[in-house]
Structure 1
Amino acid sequence: MTIDVVSLAEQLIACRSVTPADDGAMELLTRTLVGLGFTVDRVDSGPAGAETPNLFARMGEGGPHLCFAGHTDVVPPGPGWVHDPFGAQRAEGMLYGRGIADMKGGIAAFIAAVSALQAERPLKGSVSLLITGDEEGPAQHGTKVVLPWMQERGQIPDFCLLGEPTNPDALGEVIKIGRRGSLNALITVDGVQGHVAYPHLADNPIHRLLPILSALTMRVLDEGNDHFAPSSLQVVSVDVGNTATNVIPSQAIALLNIRFNTEHRGEDLVAWIRGCVADHAPDARVEASISGEAFLTEPGQAVSALSAVISRHTGRMPRLDTGGGTSDARFIASYCPVAEFGLVGATMHKADECVAIADLRALTLIYRDYLEAFGL
């Protein structure tokens, strides 16, 4: 059967799959993929009664093996919508709905692309899909869990295409071939509360926190490299919980984030933060978490073929980029090369999220031709 991309996208939008809910999205994909000849496995994970829905589907055996990765979960719709966020409404050439850009439209386009090529001839090699319901949330029981499951069963692909909305304004602008790493750090400095008129009876933790932050923010982490902008440390919160002007607080807390490139490893940056803190406040506490390491997929045949297909359909030669936030590509990169290309993301996470219907159809053609260019 041949899948109509707009119809499938509309059905996915109608699933109110706000993280961690699924609302039938995985079952819809399972029925559709089984109908195309895929073998589908559910790899749900997480606490009993609150498992994250995950799906791995594969058609074919042997190589080449191309995997498409994506997520069905969406962020809450929020206020201010003119169009029903789960109504899949069409208006003036646009399709509206929460998640249509990020990234139910990409999933629909890839499945429609497989069906279009399959209708012409038998596919060669293998094509698979890794779909999770936990990307917009903590992302601890989604793609991160499915990948080792795939590895144990010999299902790791030669290349993975992630369908995130990579284009800022027009289809064909950007392929992402890497992402910056991200870490958060919470610094807590304890002191002794007291009256400001009697500072010798108190210990002001702010006076020790400020030089810590000064030392951290004054360092130039790096100058960037051929594929990445310079790493950036940003202090995002400083709090002492004090509403009085005559009280020295007992505690000062700072929260910071570092978006770092491939010049660094997260654990090295955490060690540096801990060292700076110890220099100024040996008893202070540092809680750090690394949500993803920086990675780069070196441009090669798979990326060049994708660029050529995109250029042929859009008239634009896509820029190879590593900017923006994190994605599940940070997990995939540890197992196989990965690149990201999808729809225009200008409205993702906004009220009245939408994409051009023409872009949905064009992305389907791009994915279809990329399957063929990949050797499938």
Structure 2
Amino acid sequence: MTDAIDPVDLTARLIACPSITPRSAGVFDVLEAALKPLGFEVHRFFAGEAPDGPVENMVATRGSGGPHFAFAGHLDVVPPGEGWSGDPFHPEIRGNLLYGRGAVDMKGGVAAFVAACAAVTDHPGTVSLLITGDEEGPAVHGTRAIMAWMAERNIQPDMILIGEPTSEARLGDVVKIGRRGTVNMWVTVPGVQGHVAYPHRAENPVPKLARLITALEAVHLDDGTEAFQASNLEITALETSSRATNIIPGSATAQLNIRFNNLHRGEELVALVRRIAAEHAPGATVEAKISGEAFLTPPGRLYELVTEAIREETGVEPTLSTSGGTSDGRFLIALCPVVDFGLPNATMHKLDEAAAVEDIAGLARIYARILRNALA
């Protein structure tokens, strides 16, 4: 019989590795050491090059055949920032909270799933962990690289649970069944640089950009759907080529982000912005980066597994939501049904990030129920 794993202790050991994207800082060593005694075959590999890499990734599998239940997550974290009450990479329990960068997002979730795997050992089929070190960063050499690695070996999960922190007021109250897509764009309007005292010798791009922004702000994308909130376009930054007070700039750039539901595709929105730019600021250029398309997992077995386990363990009836930011589900949905569920997310990315000790333990119990029923 496999010894039990304390998910709080494992979370603390993972936190102690300062794995700021794309550094792994030994965090995969800690995870591998926890998985191998549980009978997992662990595969680790690096993808990408500087500056966005190299990124360490892991695929760990146990068992064979179907059904195949996979857990996906990440061990990289965002920079801690200044102003913590303690060392962000020196985990500390104060009261009923475990403090440290990654406690919530999402080393606590990974540790909880490992603990669930220790509790559920005698099962048919396959269980796997798809763990990346590139979710908080560009997400170029992480989950997508894992998917390519799996495709080369014909590894195909039947369903995937992502352990992102989705809960809000209490553990289990929110499960994410889809996510909006996101696209960033940089619209640059050219001008002619000159002295402000001689405007006839220059061409100021700022008024043109202002008119373009007004036109973009007037765009009504949609009213939302039954599953998704309305899409929104937000101007996120403005910049000109000049830093002096007496120079008319030679160019002006607006940065914008669109969070969109499944009524749209990223390329269609880029084309829309390009048409508006051509109309209101001829000569403007538009650069775009589509981070992911909107996705929605239709109702089915995975919904039932997750909601039933939450209900049985906590008594909470979870809300099925598509709100908030995106996740690597935007990639994994190409493989099979995907659902996100994890810890309460109030402190993720914040100073003094912390997870309740009981929530980590409770999440491990919920994951164990899901895993046991999925592989029954």
Q: Into which bin does the TM-score normalised by the smaller protein fall? A: over 0.9
Aligned match of 1:35: 37
Question: Per-residue CA shift, 1:126-177, capped at 9, x if unaligned?
Answer: 1000001111111111111111211221212010000011012210111001
Aligned match of 1:348: 348
1:113 to 108, 112, 116: 116
1:142 counterpart = 2:145: no
Aligned counterparts of 1:96 and 1:64: Cα–Cα separation in 2? 37
- Equivalent pairs counted in the alignment come to 373
Identity %: 51
Write the letter of the residue equivalent to 1:9: T
Return the offset for 1:247.
4.5
Return the offset for 1:11.
1.1
Question: Per-residue CA shift, 1:71-125, capped at 9, x if unaligned?
Answer: 111112222222332222112111111101000110111010111122xxx1111
Residue 21 to residue 196, structure 1, CA distance change in 2 (3 Å): closer
TM-score scaled by length of structure 1:
0.95
Summarize the alignment of residues 78-227 of structure 1 with structure 2, pairs less than 5 Å apart.
78-118=81-121, 122-196=122-196, 198-227=198-227
Aligned match of 1:3: 5
Write the letter of the residue equivalent to 1:32: A
Specify the SS of the correspondent of 2:71.
strand
Aligned match of 1:66: 69
Write the letter of the residue equivalent to 1:57: A
Asked if 2 retains the 8 angstrom alpha-carbon contact of 1:43 and 1:146, the reply is no
TM-score scaled by length of structure 2:
0.95
Residue 22 to residue 246, structure 1, CA distance change in 2 (3 Å): closer
Summarize the alignment of residues 352-371 of structure 1 with structure 2, pairs less than 5 Å apart.
352-371=352-371
Return the offset for 1:353.
1.1
After TM superposition, the runs of 4+ consecutive aligned structure 1 residues lying more than 6 A away are none
Aligned counterparts of 1:16 and 1:237: Cα–Cα separation in 2? 30
Question: Per-residue CA shift, 1:181-203, capped at 9, x if unaligned?
Answer: 11111111111234556544332
Summarize the alignment of residues 260-275 of structure 1 with structure 2, pairs less than 5 Å apart.
260-275=260-275
- Please report the RMSD computed on the Cα atoms of aligned residues, expressed in angstroms: 1.7
Aligned counterparts of 1:109 and 1:262: Cα–Cα separation in 2? 32
Aligned match of 2:18: 16
Specify the SS of the correspondent of 2:65.
coil
Write the letter of the residue equivalent to 2:48: G
Question: Per-residue CA shift, 1:25-56, capped at 9, x if unaligned?
Answer: 11121122111111111132112895211000
Aligned match of 2:372: 372
Aligned match of 1:44: 46
Return the offset for 1:8.
1.2
Residue 125 to residue 280, structure 1, CA distance change in 2 (3 Å): same
Asked if 2 retains the 8 angstrom alpha-carbon contact of 1:178 and 1:297, the reply is yes
Return the offset for 1:281.
2.8
Specify the SS of the correspondent of 1:8.
helix
Aligned counterparts of 2:154 and 2:269: Cα–Cα separation in 1? 34
Aligned match of 2:327: 327
Question: Per-residue CA shift, 1:317-359, capped at 9, x if unaligned?
Answer: 1111111112111111122211000111111111221111111
Residue 246 to residue 86, structure 1, CA distance change in 2 (3 Å): closer
Aligned counterparts of 1:37 and 1:322: Cα–Cα separation in 2? 35
Aligned counterparts of 1:67 and 1:306: Cα–Cα separation in 2? 13
Specify the SS of the correspondent of 2:61.
strand
Write the letter of the residue equivalent to 1:130: L
Specify the SS of the correspondent of 1:42.
strand
Name stretches of at least 5 consecutive residues in structure 1 with no aligned partner.
none
Asked if 2 retains the 8 angstrom alpha-carbon contact of 1:89 and 1:97, the reply is yes
Asked if 2 retains the 8 angstrom alpha-carbon contact of 1:5 and 1:364, the reply is yes
Specify the SS of the correspondent of 1:44.
strand
